Amino acid sequence: MTTPTPDAAGNIAPGYYYAEGDPPGTVRYWDGTQWTGSPMPSPPGATPAAPNAAGFSQERFGGMGIRIGAILLDGLVFVVVAVLVSLPFADNVSNSDTSFEFQVTGGAVFIGPLVYLALTIVMVATIGASPGKLMVGLRITTADGTTPPGYGPAALRSLPWLPTLIPLLGVVIWLGIVIASLVTISNDAERRSLFDRVANTRVVRKSAL
């Protein structure tokens, strides 16, 4: 086998190559988009690692640790937004009013998630990162490496957040989605989460752009 040469679009032909991060002396199949299968002993003359279509080697995608950090920061921003959205309700309702607690809670539970979703969609579409990803140095790209990805992918990436609009149960559903996303990140060669699979996006370190 010879070292592959990207075509004009930056694509690498399918084949068996060494994948960075795999044990030395092994190869894995590159299907033109992602690594598939398990590492296997390398035959003589095996080629070095093939980058993906955007030119990134495997370790340049956002890994498990940094993605968890971004999720936690996004959750913190979500709570802050929910609280801030609740404040106008608290200002306009007397503490003696029996509807005070309901209105404040309603502002946080129903309007807060909508405001956060809108904020996230705009940030991903125009900057290429959610608040948490921006803080830890991650960027969201399309499959070909374009960032910011635009409003279409940004909106699709936000679909898994929709369950948070359901009071109480929605948070539980969202946590299940996050856990499932972390599982897919750990098992995917390009570290794609469920959010990435829905929108066909990738999360890379800013330094890899």
User: Model pTM?
Assistant: 0.65
Distance in Å from the first CA to the final CA of the chain? 29
**pLDDT tens, position by position, 50-70:** 544 444 455 578 888 899 999
pLDDT exceeds cutoff 90 at 24: no
100: nearest Cα among 109, 112, 92: 92
**pLDDT tens, position by position, 116-153:** 889 999 999 999 999 999 999 999 998 877 889 999 99
Q: Reading across the β-sheet that carries 35-41, which strands appear in turn? A: 15-17, 26-30, 35-41
Domain residue ranges of the chain, discontinuous segments joined by + = 15-51, 64-208
**CA 194 – CA 87 distance, rounded (Å):** 33
Phi-psi region of 79 (alpha: psi -120 to 50; beta: other; left: phi over 0): alpha
pLDDT of residue 155: 93
Instruction: Return the structure tokens found at 192.
Output: 């794609």
Residue that is written with structure tokens 């909508």 in the block: 114
36 touches 16 (CB < 8 A): no
**pLDDT confidence band for 84 (50 / 70 / 90):** confident
pLDDT of residue 143: 80
**CA 199 – CA 202 distance, rounded (Å):** 9
pLDDT of residue 56: 44
Distance of CA 72 to the CA centre of its chain: 13
**CA 76 – CA 59 distance, rounded (Å):** 27
